[in-house]
């Protein structure tokens, strides 16, 4: 029984984060084929848009690292869950910011 729980503890993060990664990549591939990737008029706004997914992963990784310091979660699991959730949140931020219209005052 202990071997089973250890096996689940190792495989579960890989399966969950792998599923998130496949979802994000397939959605971006679908948007690329349709020609609907986010485009911004200014170079700074486009750079921010292109950086949202990696920034989400970095923030998620940092949050996972901090949580592993305060709770009894293994470092590897917390970093992988954090970066996977950051990938998903970065993708959602990309979608929201990419669909928002630019306002110039």
User: What residues have CB less than 8 Å from 83, skipping those under 6 apart?
Assistant: 17, 57, 58, 60, 61, 64
Residue 102: which pLDDT band, with cuts at 50, 70 and 90? low
Query: How much is the average pLDDT of 37-62?
Result: 88
pLDDT at 19 (0 to 100) = 94
pLDDT tens digit string along 26-47? 999 998 898 888 788 888 888 8
CA distance 40 to 104: 12
Alpha carbon distance, N-terminus to C-terminus of the chain:
64
pLDDT tens digit string along 62-71? 999 999 999 8
CA distance 60 to 76: 13
Which percentage of the chain shows pLDDT scores above 70?
Answer: 96
């Amino acid at each position: 029984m202990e071997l089973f729980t250890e096996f689940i503890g190792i495989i579960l993060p890989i399966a969950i984060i792998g599923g998130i990664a496949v979802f994000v990549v397939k959605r971006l591939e679908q948007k690329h084929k349709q020609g609907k990737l986010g485009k911004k008029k200014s170079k700074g706004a486009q750079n921010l848009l292109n950086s949202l997914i990696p920034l989400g992963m970095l923030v998620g990784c940092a949050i996972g690292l901090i949580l592993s310091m305060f709770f009894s979660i293994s470092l590897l699991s917390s970093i992988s869950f954090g970066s996977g959730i950051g990938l998903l949140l970065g993708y959602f931020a990309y979608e929201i910011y990419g669909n928002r219209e630019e306002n110039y005052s």
